[in-house]
Amino acid sequence: MPTYDASRALDLLRIGSGRDDAAFRDGQEEAIRHVVEGRGRLLVVQKTGWGKSFVYFIATKLLREAGAGPAILVSPLLSLMRNQISAAERMGVRAATINSTNTDEWQNVARQVARNEVDILLISPERLANAGFLETVLNPIAATISLLVIDEAHCISDWGHDFRPHYRLIERTARTLPPNARLLATTATANDRVMDDLRSILGRDLHVSRGELARPSLSLQTIRLPNQAARLAWLADTVPQLPGSGIIYALTVADADMVNRWLVSKGIRTFAYHAGFEDSERVSREGMLLNNEVKALVATTALGMGYDKPDLSFVIHYQMPGSVVHYYQQVGRAGRAIDSARGVLLSGDEETRINDWFIKSAFPKRDEVEQIVDCLGRSDAGLSIPQIASKVNIRQSRIEKALALLSLESPAPVVKDGSRWQVTVAPLGEDFWQRAARLTELRRGEEEQMREYVGLPFGEHMRFLIRALDGDDAAIGAPALPPLPATVDEASVNEAATFLRRTDLPIEPRKQWANGAKLPESSRAKPGRALCTWRDAGWGEEVFRGKYADEAFSDRLVEACAAMVRRWNPTPAPTWVTAIPSRRRPALVPDFARRLAEALRLPFHDALVKNHDRPEQKEMQNSPMQERNVKGSFDVDVSEVQPGPVLLVDDVVDSKWTMTVAASQLREHGAGEVWPLALALAGSDE
């Protein structure tokens, strides 16, 4: 059994922190000693910034220096892995990772692991479901693994706010470890319910090291500004006055991009950060914030757990997150190593609709599962996900999620063989649906708890969070900083409203058919423009009212689209206008397109004719179904087709198949370049 070396542990802390005077925080050294001496499985629950990574990296280094085998670290986010690897390397821990961004390095890393040249291997929980990884990397070293680290362990729990399905595999992995293998789980956010779940999964004899969750350096505040223009104005007026740099969180990619564009337009140096960027770009932007080269990153939760900038001076939420646990994780990025920092939550009307969509889409519906299982049951050889999508009207991302969840059941009703999925003889148990219902109900409760948080008076927010996390709130004092102004200047609000109404969005053309066949450039649509996002800030609500309440789009929308076309200035310029037809609302889009053509002083020609009824395109949930639903549904009136470039108008664009098929047919019948124009890009409820 390795012996704990207190002097060496302190040396490693000082090397890793870069400070010659560094000392262990309360509980750190005790946790390291517990792991090294193999005193049993340990759960460390400590606030963000406490230094949980020092526990597992110092323990790993001490174990390796004592001749023990390598450690495995299960970590949920790529940005978290990057920070962890850097921290490990500072103290001489040889760290490597196998994840979705370094596939070209997998074989080399596997060889290093086999040669015992890696001290700690970082993986995502999804690796534990990969047969190739298990066979070639994990199984050969399973008997020698000295430590299994589960970072962000709340993800294991059914009650956890960030439930990752593949974290459930950790229970099975933990059972296969050799008897003398150590297990360390860490998290900043585990209330009593989560703790009970973790004990049932990791063992009833789980030891717990739990510290204080209160953050005295962090002054919290909520400001209710229902209108997006008011929140944008508040940000533009307030952010430049705040010291240091920070993070501004938004619930959606679209909002992160929009808020960033607004702040940049006001001369504030910010960048957007979300999953839509390449990994290298996200690394670059993380670095800019670390080096104080930007005032803020405007981010989704892609910049979340584990991002470590100790002097971050503010975290602002543009909308309310869905749970207290989620909020505590994010706002806890600020004020780790400075005396005072701010956490401000701006609350608006659209957050309820967005959070409701997240809750509803978290689990598959019964009919979706039945369709998928039935489809697989009719194929002896199994089906790939694209093949399933061509046979069932379910969004491909939901097919993927459903299969991942089903495959984690024990026994599993579906299994994966290579790229194909097959059914097994095991039925799906009713407990699956009971768990989904329980989690959905929990998340509804968490959302309601956050609404209560928003309504608190200044000074009560930290106490509320700590109570919600089942921590001790006895020592919580008054905020260190006074509240920021909760009102906004009317002129600033009007400027933000104008910005929102002038922020059009790109419509990128499809370049191939759903089966992968290339769409000839001569038949493709050109890059287009949409005025707004459905039901979003700016024009979104007015488009919604026009379609479903007024049954006509307003003259204001005509003027806005005409102005958009002038800003856009497509070249070669359209010489005529046509519209996507509909049999349900035959006058709606053509009427708007005629008035837009008049505003642009162009002729309107009714070149496309809907030849028979089809289901609404928004009812088609995946690409093959969307393409199939549109193809053959149009006729072209050749007498109306003009030889020049054309502006092709529709109300709402989602999959872009309608525009793709219509453009192809217009080009085939002699039209020039086709420029798509839509009033809105589809949102989550369209």
Query: How far out from the chain centre does Cα 401 lie?
Result: 14
Provide the pLDDT for residue 683. 66
Q: Does 158 lie in the same domain as 194?
A: yes
Q: Does 190 lie in the same domain as 58?
A: yes
Q: Give the ranges where 134-241 is alpha helix by DSSP (H).
A: 139-141, 169-176, 192-202, 228-238
Phi-psi region of 21 (alpha: psi -120 to 50; beta: other; left: phi over 0): alpha
Residue whose pair of structure tokens reads 């910005």 in the numeric block: 499
Q: Does 124 lie in the same domain as 148?
A: yes
Tell me the pLDDT of the chain averaged across its residues: 91
| 633 assigned to some structural domain | yes
Provide the pLDDT for residue 472. 84
Q: Does 635 lie in the same domain as 569?
A: yes
CATH number (domain holding residue 589): 3.40.50.2020
Structural domains of the chain, count: 4
Residue whose pair of structure tokens reads 């026009």 in the numeric block: 546
Provide the pLDDT for residue 685. 44
Question: Among the ranges 48-52, 188-192, 325-329, which has the highest mean pLDDT value?
Answer: 325-329
| 640 assigned to some structural domain | yes
End-to-end CA distance of the chain: 61
HSE at residue 557, side-chain half, CA atoms within 13 A, is 30
CATH number (domain holding residue 391): 1.10.10.10
Closest CA to 187 of 177, 198, 176, 174: 198
Q: Does 387 lie in the same domain as 257?
A: no
Q: Does 229 lie in the same domain as 205?
A: no
Buried b (16+ CB within 10 A) or exposed e, 315-351: bbbbbbbbbbbbbbbbbbbbbbeeeebbbbbbbbebb
d(CA 625, CA 102): 33
**Mean pLDDT for the stretch of residues 240-245:** 97
Residue 306 pLDDT class (50, 70, 90 cuts)? low
Q: Does 249 lie in the same domain as 143?
A: no
CATH number (domain holding residue 484): 3.40.50.300
Residue whose pair of structure tokens reads 């740099």 in the numeric block: 245
Write down which residue in 463, 479, 498 finishes a domain. 498
Q: Would the pLDDT of 101 be above 80?
A: no
Q: Does 192 lie in the same domain as 60?
A: yes
| 442 assigned to some structural domain | no
* Cβ–Cβ under 8 Å, residues 134 and 128: yes
Provide the pLDDT for residue 484. 97
Q: Which range of residues forms the domain containing residue 370?
A: 363-434
| 440 assigned to some structural domain | no
Per residue in 50-98, pLDDT (tens digit) is 889 899 999 999 999 999 999 999 987 666 677 777 778 888 999 998 8
Max Cα separation, the chain?
Answer: 89
| 443 assigned to some structural domain | no
Q: Which long-range contacts (CB under 8 A, 24 or more apart) does 433-436 make?
A: 433/366, 435/158, 436/362, 436/363
Residue 124 pLDDT class (50, 70, 90 cuts)? confident
* Cβ–Cβ under 8 Å, residues 657 and 510: yes
Q: Would the pLDDT of 367 be above 90?
A: yes
| 605 assigned to some structural domain | yes
Q: Would the pLDDT of 686 be above 70?
A: no
Closest CA to 208 of 226, 180, 227, 183: 183
HSE at residue 304, side-chain half, CA atoms within 13 A, is 22
Q: Would the pLDDT of 162 be above 80?
A: no
Q: Does 97 lie in the same domain as 202?
A: yes
| 546 assigned to some structural domain | yes
| 645 assigned to some structural domain | yes
Write down which residue in 434, 457, 481 finishes a domain. 434
Strand partners, 343: 220, 315
Quickly count: other Cβ atoms within 10 Å of residue 144's Cβ.
Answer: 12
Token couple for 180: 């003398």
Per residue in 595-606, pLDDT (tens digit) is 999 999 999 999
Q: Which of 42-56, 69-83, 208-222 has the lowest mean pLDDT?
A: 69-83
Provide the pLDDT for residue 36. 96
Q: Does 98 lie in the same domain as 49?
A: yes
Q: Does 376 lie in the same domain as 343?
A: no
pTM beyond 0.75, yes or no: yes
Residue type, 3: T
Q: Which of 151-155, 506-510, 652-656, 674-678 has the lowest mean pLDDT?
A: 151-155
Residue 538 makes CB contacts below 8 A (sequence gap 6+) with 228, 497, 500, 501, 503, 531, 532
Q: Does 379 lie in the same domain as 493?
A: no
Write down which residue in 154, 176, 210 finishes a domain. 210
